[in-house]
């Protein structure tokens, strides 16, 4: 969403720009026609307090509705303080621009264009714009951005203010726009124009490239240090070994500058930035912070992997123990039926009905299921001893 507010002092025809949130903390007003009229009257009263008694007020509001092109919501040529600007719930609002529904089928095509360009370079940012005939867009490009304009529908004229040049573009044509300056885009076709801005932050791309080199260097040194420390610290777990090796690596790196580590020339500059604007200390601090986060994630993954495998191993062994006990009991009953010439099914039924017989010899004691027979026997011994004592007392009496 883009909002621009200008007012013209009629006494000298001087144009002034006003911050959209000067007297409104939220931007909700820009979405509703009745609130736009109220805010316009509020601005009129506030400007009178500052000595501007006779003014014209113009709003230029852009927004994208449900993934469509960014388009104007209000005709910027309308004076919102004039008597013609009214709002009623029972009448159409003439000063609102219609939604360009005929361009709705572009939504899937815009997603495809954005995906195609982003797959080539992750630092690309795309903005799709649609404008009405006879209007123009004033736009400023920051110094860090490499920007191109490409026409998708209609015909436009790009005014490069600093170069004092006008360039007309048709469908499929594009032009590079100077950074750090304003330009105007006029729609000269009889139908609404559609075009897209393709922004590439070359400064961020350069920093990402340096980060990749820093990460690869640190990761290579870390792997070498782990291999060197493994025989020296054979008693340590893998996660502890990685943590120790990581500390050793950064002890080596602290003595060198970022230029020395990445083998950069001393006069190396980031695109569209002067040497005075580059804080290499902050850049290195960001790199080390990102590396620390990556290392924490790596250690966490190792610990979770170890715990998960241990849990899987325990559950596997628990199942195998159950299967072994089941097979052992079946084989025992089969041998018993052969030696005693008894009915096998009858033995199985007796085993089910009398599970406590020979429990001490048949059950396999594990750490997860501690033996219960000892507690039962001890409790039975205690009960029998108490019974014996009571009998002796009775006989004495």
State the sign of the Cα–Cα–Cα–Cα dihedral 28, 33, 35, 36. positive
pLDDT at 252 over 70: yes
1 versus 378: the higher-pLDDT residue is: 1
For the chain, what percent of residues have pLDDT higher than 70? 83
CA distance 387 to 379: 12
For the entire predicted model, the pTM comes to 0.60
DSSP H helices in the chain: 33-49, 106-120, 202-229, 238-253, 258-262, 280-339, 344-353, 359-362, 373-396
278 versus 48: the higher-pLDDT residue is: 48
On whether the CB atoms of residues 128 and 201 are closer than 8 A, the answer is no
CA distance 288 to 249: 12
pLDDT at 274 over 70: no
Q: For residue 190, what is the DSSP state? A: S
Quote the longest CA-to-CA distance of the chain: 128
In this prediction, residues 224-249 reach a mean pLDDT of 82
- The whole-angstrom distance between residue 284's C-alpha and the CA centroid of its chain comes to 23
Number of Cβ within 10 Å of residue 138's Cβ equals: 13
Q: For residue 67, what is the DSSP state? A: T
Q: What are the C-alpha distances in Å from 395 to residues 143, 381, 382, 383?
A: 110, 21, 20, 19
- Residue 261, SS3 per DSSP: helix
Tell me the pLDDT band of 355, cut-offs 50, 70 and 90. Answer: low
Angle at 303 between CA 302 and CA 307, to 5 degrees: 120
Establish how many alpha carbons lie within 13 A of residue 96's alpha carbon, considering only the half-sphere containing its beta carbon.
18
Q: For residue 18, what is the DSSP state? A: E
345 versus 141: the higher-pLDDT residue is: 141
Q: What are the C-alpha distances in Å from 366 to residues 317, 331, 370?
A: 11, 21, 6
pLDDT at 278 over 80: no
In terms of phi and psi (left: phi > 0; alpha: psi -120 to 50; beta: otherwise), the region of 263 is left
CA distance 142 to 15: 23
In this prediction, residues 6-31 reach a mean pLDDT of 90
**Residue range 316-339, pLDDT digits in tens:** 888 888 888 888 888 888 888 888
**106-201 CATH fold:** Jelly Rolls (2.60.120)
Strand 156-160 with 165-169, pairing = antiparallel
In this prediction, residues 123-127 reach a mean pLDDT of 89
Lowest mean pLDDT among 92-101, 116-125, 386-395: 386-395
Separate counts of helices (H) and strands (E) for the chain: 9, 12
**CATH 2.60.120.10 intervals, the chain:** 106-201
pLDDT at 122 over 50: yes
Tell me the pLDDT band of 305, cut-offs 50, 70 and 90. Answer: low
Tell me the pLDDT band of 132, cut-offs 50, 70 and 90. Answer: very high
Lowest mean pLDDT among 42-46, 75-79, 320-324, 366-370: 366-370
Tell me the pLDDT band of 119, cut-offs 50, 70 and 90. Answer: confident
In this prediction, residues 235-260 reach a mean pLDDT of 79
- Residue 197, SS3 per DSSP: strand
In this prediction, residues 56-80 reach a mean pLDDT of 93
pLDDT at residue 356, rounded to an integer: 55
For the chain, what percent of residues have pLDDT higher than 90? 37
On whether the CB atoms of residues 32 and 74 are closer than 8 A, the answer is no
pLDDT at 393 over 70: no
**Residue range 158-215, pLDDT digits in tens:** 999 999 999 999 999 999 999 889 999 999 999 999 999 999 887 777 888 888 888 8
pLDDT at residue 280, rounded to an integer: 72
11 versus 347: the higher-pLDDT residue is: 11
CA distance 52 to 59: 18
In this prediction, residues 251-256 reach a mean pLDDT of 79
Q: In what order do the strands lie in the sheet with 136-141?
A: 136-141, 181-187, 156-160, 165-169
């Amino acid at each position: 969403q883009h909002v621009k507010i200008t007012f013209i002092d009629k006494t000298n025809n001087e144009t002034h720009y006003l911050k959209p949130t000067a007297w409104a903390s939220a931007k909700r007003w820009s979405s509703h026609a009745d609130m736009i009229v109220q805010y316009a009257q509020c601005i009129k009263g506030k400007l009178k307090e500052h000595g501007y008694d006779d003014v014209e007020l113009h709003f230029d509001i852009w927004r994208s509705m449900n993934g469509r092109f960014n388009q104007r919501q209000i005709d910027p040529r309308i004076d919102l303080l004039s008597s013609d600007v009214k709002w009623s719930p029972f009448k159409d609002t003439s000063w609102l621009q219609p939604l360009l529904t005929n361009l709705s089928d572009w939504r899937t095509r815009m997603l495809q264009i954005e995906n195609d360009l982003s797959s080539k370079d992750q630092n690309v940012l795309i903005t799709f714009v649609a404008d009405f005939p006879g209007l123009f867009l004033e736009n400023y490009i920051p110094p860090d951005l490499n920007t191109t304009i490409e026409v998708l529908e209609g015909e436009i004229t790009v005014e490069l203010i600093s170069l004092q040049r006008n360039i007309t573009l048709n469908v499929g044509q594009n032009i590079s726009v100077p950074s750090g300056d304003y330009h105007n885009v006029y729609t000269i076709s009889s139908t609404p124009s559609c075009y897209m801005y393709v922004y590439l932050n070359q400064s961020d791309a350069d920093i990402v490239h340096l980060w990749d080199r820093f990460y690869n260097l640190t990761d290579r040194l870390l792997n070498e240090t782990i291999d060197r420390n493994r025989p020296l610290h054979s008693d340590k777990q893998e996660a502890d070994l990685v943590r120790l090796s990581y500390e050793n690596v950064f002890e080596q790196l602290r003595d060198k500058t970022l230029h020395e580590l990445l083998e950069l020339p001393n006069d190396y500059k980031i695109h569209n930035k002067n040497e005075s604007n580059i804080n290499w200390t902050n850049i290195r601090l960001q790199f080390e912070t990102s590396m620390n986060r990556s290392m924490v994630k790596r250690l966490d993954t190792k610990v979770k992997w170890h715990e998960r495998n241990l849990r899987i191993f325990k559950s596997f062994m628990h199942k195998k123990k159950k299967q072994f006990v089941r097979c052992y009991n079946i084989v025992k009953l089969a041998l018993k039926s052969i030696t005693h010439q008894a009915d096998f099914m009858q033995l199985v039924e007796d085993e089910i009905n009398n599970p406590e017989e020979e429990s001490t010899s048949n059950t396999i004691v594990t750490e997860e299921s501690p033996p219960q027979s000892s507690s039962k026997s001890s409790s039975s011994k205690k009960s029998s001893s108490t019974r014996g004592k009571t009998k002796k007392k009775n006989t004495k009496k």
